[in-house]
Amino acid sequence: MNPPAPLLDVAALLSAYADLQPDAGVPAQRVAFGTSGHRGSAFARSFNAWHVRVIVQAICDFRRLHGIDGPLYLGIDTHALSQPAFEDALEVLAGNNVHTCIAAGGGFTPTPAISHAILAHNRGRRSGCADGIVLTPSHNPPESGGLKYNPPHGGPAETAVTGWIEARANGLLAAPAGVRRMPYAQALRGTRTHDFLHSYVEDLGEVIDFDLIRSAGVRMGVDPLGGAGVDYWQPIAERYGLDLQVLSLQVDPQFAFMSRDFDGQIRMDPSSPQVMQGLIARKDEFDIAFACDTDHDRHGIVTPSAGLLPPNHYLAVVVDYLLRARPDWSLSAAIGKAVVSSGLIDRVAHRLRRRVIEVPVGFKWFVDGLLDGRLAVAGEESAGISFQRRSGGVWTTDKDGFAPSLLAAEITARSGCDPGACYRALTGTLGMPHAARISAPATPAQKTQLAALRASQVAAVELAGERVTQVLERAPGNAAPIGGIKVCTANGWFAARPSGTEDLYKIYAESFRDEAHLQALLVQAQSLVDRALASSAALA
């Protein structure tokens, strides 16, 4: 057991953000977009005022280059660095004459509310289109800062876009005179306010059947985990007449109220059993309970019958439920899943005669399919889901923590049992997967090596007693590199890839046989990855 990390010294962090200037010649201090934006720590000179300024200037340059001249929606979460980053971002946006919309009253803004606002503004437009920036490191520890860009399609920016922004920002980091800024007080006077909260809440009934939830009397509990959605849940309950208890309204940049994660760190990860201990302990008080991460784009579902549902379990239930409960959806709409999502989803989709489109990790790969209706549901192993409106059509093109949380109540109301029981019914028919994910420390160089692994470097014909049927370095659904490898057999698979947010690499494994087979998969996967990394390092 790792010792608990000390609580964040907020004053020291804010000083480091303002005072520690990154060195553009040091790779770890440069701008680097992962699976969803640039993230880092001011203490490590990887998320400081200079990073925010150059990234936002690069975004402004990108907007000019591509004729994006509508409003930019700017949102923040509750991390300590989000407010000073907001001030720096606003100075640069104003210095570039970008019309910026912020939350009324300076409130926090969840990621799905930004995506929803972009799509609502751009509907039917060919000019004057909006885009957005969210200042959030997602569920990462309290000392972290982050910035992600959502272009006019409303979802996470695709690789070509983030690559351009990253390169331009790093050029500016070496020559910051190219950043145009306006004093903050003047910049703030030039902003417009947008009612993200009520716009989002009023439209939420287009996605969730609240009449069904209300008539069934479903008792719900929600823990916002001190995140950006903290002020949204009570208006949702009041607008739709729900029996929904908000368990905490506490906001604290130290996140001292959080249960520690597996390694003693504080993370606002609603898929972690350690983080969710408090809500799990209260599971019998509600018919369904849920929590969301700091920017409310991820969910955690707690049921009386099964406690905290692993995200893969719940995603399979969501797919099975929605494809049967949404008769207005197109029968040709497919299911989007990441390469590390459960094979049970494929079995559910096959039974319902729906296609599965398997893509690399990162919600950006689902954006186009959600926008044009080719995807009915899209979800990741990391607890990110979005799905169509009840009548069909796009809802959000980014992950939405609210909608899948509330859908758990709709599932409970219609099924007469919670999603944990629904999952057991699925596995009783389609087979029981045994799954695990392990993480290990990795240097930036090791992460780069792992992302660059090729199938030819994995010399394995057998995995955990079964013949290897596939070694993938590209996703089957779109042929994009998966940033690692996936090795498959008839009854199991493992995938290894670097974390997009922390100095870790992750191994995912799943067995449709038993727990012993799963452990054999993990052991052999670890050995294969270690040998491949060693081989790659020797060649470098």
Tokens representing 41 are: 């720590």
d(CA 221, CA 336) in angstroms, rounded, equals 29
- Least Cα distance to 418 among 308, 303, 313 occurs for 303
The pair of structure tokens assigned to 327 is 């008769």
User: What number of CA atoms fall less than 13 Å from residue 248's CA on the CB side?
Assistant: 18
> Per the structure block, which two tokens stand in for 11?
């004053």
- DSSP letter (8 states) at residue 139: T
Long-range contact set of residues 451-456: C-beta below 8 Å, sequence gap at least 24: 451/481, 451/483, 451/484, 451/497, 451/498, 452/536, 453/484, 453/485, 453/496, 453/532, 453/536, 454/485, 455/485
Q: In this structure, are residues 396 and 112 in contact, taking their beta carbons and an 8 Å threshold?
A: yes
- Comparing CA positions, the residue from 340, 282, 286 lying closest to residue 311 is 340
Measured over the CA atoms of residue 470, residue 473, residue 476 and residue 482, the dihedral's sign is positive
Q: Tell me if 512 sits within 8 A of 521, measured CB to CB.
A: no
Interstrand relation of 288-292 and 307-308 (parallel, antiparallel or unpaired): unpaired
In this structure, are residues 245 and 221 in contact, taking their beta carbons and an 8 Å threshold?
A: yes
Reference 115, options 409, 311, 402, 392; nearest CA is 402
| Distance from chain centroid for Cα 36 | 8
Q: How far apart are CA 266 and CA 429, in angstroms?
A: 38
Q: What is the dihedral of CA 466, 471, 472, 477, to 10 degrees?
A: -50
Cβ(242)–Cβ(235) under 8 Å?
no
DSSP 385-421: EEE--TTSS-S-SS--SHHHHHHHHHHHHHHSS-HHH
Q: By the 8 A CB rule, do 463 and 489 touch?
A: yes
Helix (H, G, I), strand (E, B) or coil at 524: helix
Q: Supply the residues annotated as catalytic.
A: 138
Give burial (CB, 10 Å; 0-12/13-18/19+) of 460. Answer: middle
Identify the bridge partners of residue 506 per DSSP, sorted by sequence position: 439, 497
